[in-house]
């Protein structure tokens, strides 16, 4: 049996060869970009990548460990394009509240604009702070995600 990425709550599977080919294609497109600053093309490529792999993988891991519909999720280092939170909120965790934390106020301002006037505005909040200052608060969450670039300098 060929390896595949499977969502445990559906019958759909993405064959490993298709997943690999599509990931390589997106990666090649990202490498050709002059900048990773938010733009229509950058947003589209990263949205495709997140939809294809990251959010589905994260949700599969949570599901396999018994956490299917958490009430509160924290995302640390959410940045200006909270794609994982948006994908999780729209496809997997449709009643979950998301608190997105980032040390960069400008990033949170951009992220708030993305979700303003959408169905996610009431379920998704953005907090500008050093996560170490609110570490006790993190105990209130059912699940905490750390962004891939979490801990890296803003510069």
Domain assignment of residue 6, yes or no: no
Percentage of the chain lying above the pLDDT 90 cut: 34
Chain centroid to CA 43: how far? 13
The boundaries of the domain holding residue 106 are 12-146
CATH number of the domain encompassing residue 113: 3.40.50.150
Q: What average pLDDT score do residues 68-73 get? A: 92
**pLDDT given at position 96:** 96
* pLDDT(98) > 90: yes
Task: Supply the angle between the helices 40-49 and 16-32 in degrees, to the nearest 10.
Answer: 160
Domain assignment of residue 7, yes or no: no
* pLDDT(14) > 70: no
d(CA 145, CA 62): 11
Domain assignment of residue 151, yes or no: no
Please write the tens of the pLDDT for every residue from 118-127. Answer: 899 999 999 9
* pLDDT(4) > 60: no
Token code pair at residue 145: 């995600």
Domain assignment of residue 154, yes or no: no
Average pLDDT over the chain, rounded to whole?
82
Domain assignment of residue 2, yes or no: no
Q: Give the total number of structural domains in the chain.
A: 1
**pLDDT given at position 155:** 52
Would the pTM count as exceeding 0.85? no
Token code pair at residue 99: 């608190």
Q: What average pLDDT score do residues 127-155 get? A: 82
Confidence of residue 153 (pLDDT cuts 50, 70, 90): low
Confidence of residue 66 (pLDDT cuts 50, 70, 90): confident
Domain assignment of residue 49, yes or no: yes
Domain assignment of residue 22, yes or no: yes
């Amino acid at each position: 049996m060929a390896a595949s990425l499977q969502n445990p709550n559906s019958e759909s599977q993405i064959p490993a060869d298709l997943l690999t080919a599509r990931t390589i294609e997106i990666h090649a497109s990202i490498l050709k970009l002059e900048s990773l600053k938010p733009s229509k093309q950058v947003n589209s490529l990263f949205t495709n990548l997140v939809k294809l792999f990251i959010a589905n993988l994260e949700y599969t891991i949570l599901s396999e460990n018994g956490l299917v519909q958490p009430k509160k999720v924290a995302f640390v280092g959410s940045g200006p394009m909270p794609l994982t939170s948006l994908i999780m909120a729209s496809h997997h965790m449709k009643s979950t509240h998301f608190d997105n934390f980032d040390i960069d106020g400008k990033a949170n301002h951009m992220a708030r604009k993305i979700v303003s006037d959408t169905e996610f505005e009431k379920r998704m909040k953005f907090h500008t702070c050093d996560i170490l200052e609110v570490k006790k608060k993190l105990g209130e969450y059912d699940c905490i995600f750390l962004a891939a670039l979490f801990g890296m300098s803003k510069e």
